[in-house]
Amino acid sequence: MSILVTGSSGYIGRHVVAELLRRGHLVIANDVTLDAYYVGVSRVTQTQENIFSGAPDIFDRLGRPNVLIHLAWEAGFVHNSPVHMQKLSAHYRFLTDMATGGLTDMAVMGSMHEVGFFEGAVTAETPCNPLSLYGVSKNTLRQAIQIEVIRQNFRLYWLRGYYIYGDDMRGSSIFAKISQAAAEGKKTFPFTTGKNKYDFIHIDELAQQIVAAATQTRLPDTSPITGVINVCSGKPVSLAEQVETFIRENGYDIALEYGAFPDRPYDSKEIWGDGGLIREILAKSE
């Protein structure tokens, strides 16, 4: 299959492209800058086409892919940056123009921050009440594109992500910050209470789940699962336990300074994704 990946040079994007190549797909890698990592790589075509240009023929300009995996998003780790709302209409225009052009399968990266404060396992039916600009913009985009699905009749895979670790020197998560602090020789790291429980997933496992969900139609005798799909581990682990394990496994000589920062008021005390749908998809994809 021909797969367009936006944000292909980003933290998640590189791993998704690698997984697509492992599975034998052709990749159209789109980002604002060309990535030397892909130069000379068979089955990868790089493009700097501006996906937010408003060009009505954007689907043709991007090679008429079988599937779009839309990962591009600015300032994803700065939850209350104004850019989330400022770029919302551009994301909507790009996705709707791709569908109008002829795209049949659209996978878009969502976030558990769409849900807001919630305790327990998040399913596709869990009500959303986002409490950050990042969550509001992702949730609004999802609602708008779901309306377009009815109007334009394409398949939408809304991939709701959780907490990612792995390849940490390239990321912006707490794991990346600890790795950077350890590399600088720091002995302590300011931390929250660490009591909140979240759904943690390694970047390589996340990439496998994203690709499996986005390419379901390569299996002609199965009915694809569409709509909201949690890409997750499906189990809650305390932040303290996950970070302490991370420090130990990497051999870092650094200690957490518990209570240095307050817990964010919009973070749930215990939240994780219900992984039933993604497990079903993975079982079919093997």
List active site positions. Answer: 134
- Using left for φ > 0, alpha for ψ between -120 and 50, and beta otherwise, residue 227 falls in left
Q: Provide the pairing of β-strand 227-230 with 120-122.
A: unpaired
Beta-ladder partners of 68: 4, 106
Tallying the residues shown for the chain, one arrives at: 286
* CA distances, 175 to each of 71, 169, 179, 180 (Å): 21, 8, 6, 9
237-238 and 197-198 strand pairing: antiparallel
What is the residue type of 113?
Answer: H
Distance CA 159, CA 215 (A): 13
